[in-house]
């Protein structure tokens, strides 16, 4: 009889959960013998010999005092069985390991479900407050539990181990894993909904194209609520005021009627109708004035194209804008702010700053700070970009396109498949040089790319197979949806790497270097995969806390933000205690924010409401005309008392009745009570230094004084208004257009009336595309103007720009 070894030096073994337990050779022998019995073996002595051989090798491998793991011992058993000619037994042993792994996983899932539900009910899990749009409730529990199951399934069954571990360990954060089998955010065509109605899904009630304003608004509520259940993030409509204006005239509505219907629409969008007790996360973009590419477009009414053009309905647009602003400014019955829809207003060259609507817009902004302002005056965005994804000519696969709509909006029929955020502070902590930092970043970006490629295929499959029926009905392709990679904590990355924060010249220069590196790599990814990629200043509502929390546990010496509660500063923003000088912050951030091609925004955090609508208007105008930031907000802090309504600034108790209040500010991008925020975001708010508008340049701007300001800059691609054909000797042109492009029709019609020789080139043909490549034309419409020697003088991309030249 073969005896087991004695005087074995190995005394401990490390279990899969990290615990150390006593080493027991009998367990190895028993496992080998069970595998042998499974294939007809009966010789326990042979099992003991193999076991002894395994232990002898372990003694050699771990004589330095290291502790073997269970997995390492089992790998060695397989190897020795095969080397001794026991292939069948080795196969049975492998199957035995797999079966036990499956049993362990099943037990772990059951235990995880129990922990998940207990953690929610006892509020001991920080993720209960991860999303401040969700309140503690039964429906919140259902979402929390179901989301945990889907997240676990996605990590275990969808992603390979390396990607799943990178997320679990905090190297990066895969967003919205609780809805990990669907897409992130999407912009939808309101024109399509008005033309076709809300229908087309088998066994579901359908509605024809709306004929009245109330019906159109009702279909929008149903559409946004329904599609929100098929996507993880924000749902967006563009040109809300432009597309709905014809319905106001057709219904012969008075202003009071328009306001009543808008009020009903806003209240409906703020009801917790989404699963998990959430309100639909919605974003609306307002044109304010009719965009050039829509002015000559036939309007849609009752599912048909009518004779009137959208350019004929400016008066009705003004009524819609007035009604929406007044409803949002009034708030609910207690003066509580409406969180949704998040309104985005387009600031264009022809924005009427002195109109009656402008006055109430800036009154709403001064009080609640609700709008996002999209800067078309001094950025490289154009108003037609929200409808232009179908008009882009992808001649250079390395070219990174801009995603319109800011953090929570998207242009028509575009959006994001998924978002992965890189943990920058950890890279700074683990690296010793900038070169090593970029090498580590590159490895994580490749993993992030692979995860997004996997997710794109999964979402496409789920759309195709009907798991997302309304997405399949209204979205013809996901080719215009981005794969998004973001970053978090660049400020802390600089501190950990070389001891200087992002506000210093060294810190900012390194941040610029990192963003340029990431943009370049995203160009590589786009070229390699054929899919769109973009770089985002990720909101990171939960990720900024989660990643910092993991890092503090693993690396106690790592530098984070927060005093007691760790968090990371969002993206490449200044630390929240960095400065109270608004224009110093704007100057610093301009060079960084223009490098993002996905969502990014600058929040002007203020301690209380602005002194007047006029002051607010002056500030918004100065930012739009003097900085190239694509998106920005004015964000005052305010409080709400159930009895006495709106209170300016942070007032935890009502000064009139001493009752507790709700204190509101923006959590990453939308207004929610501070009490709903997660621990990391609450700590960020506690440390936040609001901008001071009473001193320096800011005080002069708010007062309407122009002294001390820099010269107004001109938006890239804009020609001075004084240019004429005679001034520049334009003699001919080439118009590049597409039959599918709605913005091309008015430009084409206008150029036909111009007394210039020219060619009209259809990029939908092989010859037209070759000509576009020749002239490096990347989008339609594009009009190239030439002199007599055929030298290129200027390029125009919209009717407005064409009119500046001819």
pLDDT digits (tens, 9 = 90+) for 179-211: 999 999 999 999 999 999 999 999 999 999 999
3-state secondary structure of 189: coil
Contact in structure between 804 and 723 (CB atoms under 8 Å): yes
pLDDT, tens only, 106-121: 655 555 667 777 777 7
The predicted structure's pLDDT at residue 407: 42
In eight-state DSSP terms, residue 63 is T
Q: Which residues of the chain form CATH 3.40.30.10?
A: 725-803
> What is the pLDDT averaged over residues 60-69?
87
Name 182's Cβ contacts closer than 8 Å, sequence gap at least 6: 230, 231, 232, 459, 462, 467, 468
- pLDDT-wise least confident of 80-84, 362-366, 556-560, 648-652: 80-84
- Closest CA relative to residue 352, chosen from 317, 390, 402: 317
3-state secondary structure of 614: helix
Report the C-alpha gap between 650 and 796 in whole angstroms.
48
Residue 70 has phi, psi (to 5 degrees) of -55, -45
The CA distances from residue 167 to 151, 172, 447, 547, 794, in Å, are 11, 5, 10, 10, 48
Q: Is the pLDDT assigned to residue 406 strictly greater than 90?
A: no
Q: Which CATH superfamily does the domain covering 725-803 fall into? A: Glutaredoxin (3.40.30.10)
Report the C-alpha gap between 176 and 158 in whole angstroms.
14
Q: Which phi-psi region, left, alpha or beta, contains residue 316 (left: φ > 0; alpha: ψ -120 to 50)?
A: alpha
Report the C-alpha gap between 340 and 275 in whole angstroms.
16
> What is the pLDDT averaged over residues 293-316?
95
- Closest CA relative to residue 470, chosen from 479, 462, 481: 462
Between residues 134 and 523, the one the model is more confident about: 523
602-606 and 342-347 beta bridge pairing: unpaired
pLDDT, tens only, 252-304: 999 999 999 999 999 999 987 655 567 788 999 999 999 888 999 999 999 99
| H or E element in which residue 483 lies | strand 481-488
pLDDT, tens only, 669-721: 778 889 888 899 999 999 999 999 887 667 777 777 654 344 434 333 333 43
pLDDT, tens only, 230-252: 999 889 999 999 999 999 999 99
- Closest CA relative to residue 387, chosen from 262, 594, 243, 535: 243
3-state secondary structure of 126: helix
Between residues 408 and 67, the one the model is more confident about: 67
- Closest CA relative to residue 336, chosen from 675, 673, 645, 608: 645
Name the band, by pLDDT with cuts 50, 70 and 90, for residue 780.
confident
**What is the length of the chain?**
806
Q: Which residue has the tokens 């042998």?
A: 36
Q: Is the pLDDT assigned to residue 657 strictly greater than 90?
A: yes
Q: Is the pLDDT assigned to residue 167 strictly greater than 90?
A: yes
Burial class of residue 66 (count of CB atoms within 10 Å of its CB; 0-12, 13-18, 19+):
exposed
The two three-digit tokens of residue 800, written as one number = 């407005």
Report the C-alpha gap between 296 and 781 in whole angstroms.
15
> What is the pLDDT averaged over residues 365-387?
79
- Closest CA relative to residue 363, chosen from 665, 669, 581, 636: 636
- Closest CA relative to residue 482, chosen from 537, 519, 536: 536
């Amino acid at each position: 009889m073969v005896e087991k070894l004695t005087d074995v030096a190995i005394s401990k073994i490390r279990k899969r959960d990290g615990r150390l337990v006593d080493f027991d050779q009998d367990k190895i022998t028993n496992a080998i013998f069970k595998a042998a019995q499974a294939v007809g073996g009966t010789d326990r002595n042979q099992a003991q010999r193999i076991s002894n051989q395994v232990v002898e090798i372990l003694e050699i491998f771990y004589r330095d005092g290291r502790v073997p793991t269970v997995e390492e011992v089992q790998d060695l058993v397989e190897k020795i069985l095969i080397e001794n000619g026991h292939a069948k037994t080795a196969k049975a042993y492998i199957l035995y390991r797999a079966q036990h792994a499956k049993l362990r996983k099943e037990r772990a899932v059951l235990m995880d479900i129990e922990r998940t539900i207990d953690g929610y009910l006892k509020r001991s899990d920080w993720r209960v407050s991860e999303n401040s749009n969700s309140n503690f409730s039964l429906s919140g529990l259902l979402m929390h539990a179901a989301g945990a199951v889907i997240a676990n399934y996605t990590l275990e069954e969808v992603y390979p181990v390396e990607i799943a571990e990178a997320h679990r360990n905090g190297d990066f954060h895969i967003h919205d894993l609780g809805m990990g089998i669907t897409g992130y955010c999407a912009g939808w065509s309101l024109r399509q909904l008005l033309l076709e109605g809300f229908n087309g899904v088998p066994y579901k009630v359908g509605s024809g194209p709306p004929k009245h304003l109330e019906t159109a608004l009702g279909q929008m509520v149903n559409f946004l609520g329904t599609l929100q259940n098929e996507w993880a993030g924000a749902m967006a409509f563009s040109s809300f005021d432009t597309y709905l204006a014809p319905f106001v005239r057709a219904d012969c509505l008075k202003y009071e009627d328009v306001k009543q219907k808008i009020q009903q629409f806003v209240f409906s969008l703020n009801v917790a109708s989404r699963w998990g007790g959430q309100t639909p996360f919605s974003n609306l973009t307002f044109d304010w004035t009719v965009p050039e590419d829509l002015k000559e477009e036939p309007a849609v009414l009752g599912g048909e194209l009518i004779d009137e053009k959208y350019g004929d309905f400016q008066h009705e647009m003004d009524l819609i804008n007035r009604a929406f602003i007044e409803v949002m400014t009034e708030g609910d019955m207690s003066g509580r702010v409406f969180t949704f829809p998040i309104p985005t207003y387009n600031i264009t060259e022809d924005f009427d700053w002195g109109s009656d609507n402008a006055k109430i817009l800036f009154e709403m902004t001064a009080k609640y700070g609700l709008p996002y302002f999209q800067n078309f005056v001094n950025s490289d965005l154009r108003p037609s970009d929200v409808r232009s994804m179908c008009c882009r000519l992808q001649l250079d696969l390395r070219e990174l396109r801009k995603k319109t709509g800011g953090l929570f909006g998207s242009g028509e029929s575009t959006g994001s498949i998924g978002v992965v955020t890189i943990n920058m502070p950890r890279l700074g902590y683990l690296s010793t040089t900038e070169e090593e930092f970029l090498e580590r970043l590159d490895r994580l970006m490749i993993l992030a790319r692979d995860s997004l490629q996997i997710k794109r295929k999964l979402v496409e499959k789920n759309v195709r197979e009907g798991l997302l029926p309304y997405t399949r009905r209204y979205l013809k392709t996901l080719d215009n949806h981005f794969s998004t990679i973001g970053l978090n904590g660049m400020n802390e990355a600089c501190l950990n790497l070389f001891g200087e924060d992002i506000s210093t010249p060294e810190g900012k220069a390194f941040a610029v270097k990192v963003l340029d590196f990431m943009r370049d790599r995203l160009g590589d990814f786009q070229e390699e995969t054929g899919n769109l990629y973009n770089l985002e200043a990720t909101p990171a509502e939960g990720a900024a806390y989660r990643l910092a929390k993991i890092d503090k546990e693993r690396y106690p010496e790592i530098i984070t933000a927060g005093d007691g509660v760790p968090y990371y500063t969002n993206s490449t923003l200044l630390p929240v205690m960095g400065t109270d000088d608004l224009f110093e912050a704007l100057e610093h951030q301009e060079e960084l924010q223009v490098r993002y091609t996905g969502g990014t925004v600058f929040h002007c955090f203020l301690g209380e409401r602005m002194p007047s609508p006029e002051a607010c208007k002056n500030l918004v105008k100065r930012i739009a005309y003097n900085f190239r930031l694509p998106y920005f907000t004015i964000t005052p802090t305010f409080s709400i008392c159930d009895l006495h309504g709106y209170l300016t600034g942070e007032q935890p108790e009502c000064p009139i009745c001493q009752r507790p209040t709700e204190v509101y500010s923006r959590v990453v991008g939308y207004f929610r009570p501070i009490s709903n925020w997660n621990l990391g975001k609450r700590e960020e708010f506690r440390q936040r230094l609001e901008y001071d508008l009473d001193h320096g340049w800011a005080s002069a701007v708010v007062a309407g004084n122009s002294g001390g300001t820099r010269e107004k800059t001109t938006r890239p691609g804009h020609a001075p208004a004084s240019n004429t054909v005679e001034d520049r000797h334009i003699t001919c042109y080439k118009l590049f257009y597409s039959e599918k492009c709605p913005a091309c029709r008015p430009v084409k019609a206008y150029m036909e009336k111009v007394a210039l020789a020219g060619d009209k080139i259809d990029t939908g043909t092989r010859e037209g595309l070759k000509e576009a490549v020749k002239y490096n034309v990347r989008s339609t419409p594009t009009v190239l103007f030439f002199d007599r020697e055929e030298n290129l003088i200027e390029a125009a991309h919209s009717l407005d720009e064409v009119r500046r030249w001819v």
